[in-house]
Structure 1
Amino acid sequence: MTSVLHASERTEFKRSSRRKIRLEGQIPAVVYGNDTENKSISVDGKDFIKTIRESGRNGIIDLEIGSDKRKVMLYDYQVDPLKSLEFVHLDFHVVDFKSEIDVDVTVQVTGDAAGVKDGGVLQQVLHQASVRVLPNDVPETIEVDVTNLQVNETITFGDLDTSGKYKFNHEDDEVIASILPPRQEEEIDSGEQQEPGEPELVEGREKNNNTEEA
């Protein structure tokens, strides 16, 4: 079932106007594509979060702007760098159901790997995969079954069966997951004094901060 999201058309584009919209719980946005008229709009923040949870990141949304109704997908978004869960701008793209699109889909590893049972360590190299697909065939997730994966073995994109519904934008030999051999503990000479260690800085995940248009 397609989710419905109501929007209001924007007619003022000053920075102060966008700030006022956000203070009112709205998110400034644009909708464009598929030979339709570009429109600057705003959507209710809570309604948007609810819609995305229902439809998924790549789901099709019925966007209603008064009497103007368009089937769209969330193409891009911008978040506040200081408040990672606060959206400050959205891009919706009108869907052309006959044309393939490129989307990022979450990779989900399933099964208990045989190599892990033997003491190996499962390493998931990729958590998202880029696929080329028709809008109605976008998968919710890419499931990768690692049940039969042994120590020192890998699963690549060439190993996955897409049933012809979509194509990966990756090389066949690109690794998705592997089983590393058991770690060997290094023997430490008890008579050797160790230098005190300093914790390494943990680098956070970089957010998507595209420049917002006027």
Structure 2
Amino acid sequence: MATSHSLKAEARACGSGNLKQLRSQGLVPGVVYGPGFDNVNIQVDAREFSRMLASAVSEHILVALDIDGKVVKVLLKEIQHNPITNACLHVDFQAVKDSTVIHSIVPVILEGDPAGVALGGVLDQTIHELSVTCQVKDLPESIKADVSGLKIGESLSIADLKLPAGVNTELAGDVIVAIVEAPRVSSEEAAPAAAEAAAE
């Protein structure tokens, strides 16, 4: 199960205050919602929120959110960023229980040095995040895959990933996650080689 991060929040009245002023005070406005949960408008400390994200492997994480002393388990659902500064403008949390079935995004982390790379090949990771469906209690922090055995021309597919029990993805099993491609030959190197081949 994914690590449950902790964060403190304060409830704020709907429509209260100027959001721009709120952000200038170092706070990030947000909302908590979910089935059987009364929507709550909140605000969190921007620095604490940034520190939490820095300690996570992705923005799709479980959080123990302390709202004025009441701890609620939530899934970080969406973050709105400033397109220029990348600062957090607004955050959405989904209140969940361990048995709640969720759709989330999990990072795919490759481990090991492919045998083909040592021979000049190039490792190309085509899928960095995987969309999964599972109960909250089964949500992994990441999906790790060992690529050390890959030779030049060999690939790792969805079917090769070892998904935790209860975790599923809709992607087909033959979709390539990573591949070790043959060494790339530059045009400068290719021209003399072609000339030598023609001379023979």
- TM-score tier, shorter chain, comes to 0.7 to 0.9
Q: Distance in 1 between matches of 2:8 and 2:141?
A: 24
Partner of residue 63, structure 2: 61
Aligned residues: 186
CA deviations on 1:104-129 (whole Å, 9 max, x unpaired) are: 11111111111112221111111111
Q: Does 1:104 align with 2:108?
A: no
Q: Does 1:72 align with 2:74?
A: yes
CA deviations on 1:146-193 (whole Å, 9 max, x unpaired) are: 1111111111001122242411231111111011112233216xxxxx
Aligned-pair CA distance for 1:41: 1.2
Moved more, 162-171 or 143-152: 162-171
Q: Distance in 1 between matches of 2:46 and 2:61?
A: 17
Q: Distance in 2 between matches of 1:168 and 1:60?
A: 19
Q: Letter of the 1:64 partner, please give it.
A: D
Aligned-pair CA distance for 1:37: 0.4
Aligned-pair CA distance for 1:3: 3.6
Q: TM-score, normalised by structure 2?
A: 0.84
Which has a greater percent of helix?
A: 2
For the aligned residues, what is the CA RMSD?
2.0
Residues 11-90 of structure 1 mapped to structure 2, 5 A cutoff: 11=13, 13=15, 17-54=18-55, 57-84=59-86, 86-90=87-91
Query: Would the alpha carbon gap of residues 153 and 54 (structure 1) be closer, same or farther in structure 2, given more than 3 Å must change?
Result: closer
What SS does the aligned partner of 2:150 have? coil
Q: Letter of the 1:132 partner, please give it.
A: T
Q: Distance in 2 between matches of 1:130 and 1:166?
A: 10
Q: Letter of the 2:191 partner, please give it.
A: E
Partner of residue 191, structure 2: 187
Unaligned runs of 5+ in 2: 193-200
What SS does the aligned partner of 2:18 have? helix
Q: Letter of the 2:148 partner, please give it.
A: T
Q: Is the contact between residue 9 and residue 45 of structure 2 (CA under 8 Å) also seen in structure 1?
A: yes
Q: Distance in 2 between matches of 1:150 and 1:55?
A: 32
Aligned-pair CA distance for 1:28: 0.7
Q: Is the contact between residue 78 and residue 93 of structure 2 (CA under 8 Å) also seen in structure 1?
A: yes
Q: Distance in 2 between matches of 1:73 and 1:95?
A: 7
Q: Letter of the 2:94 partner, please give it.
A: H
Partner of residue 149, structure 1: 150
Amino-acid identity (%):
31
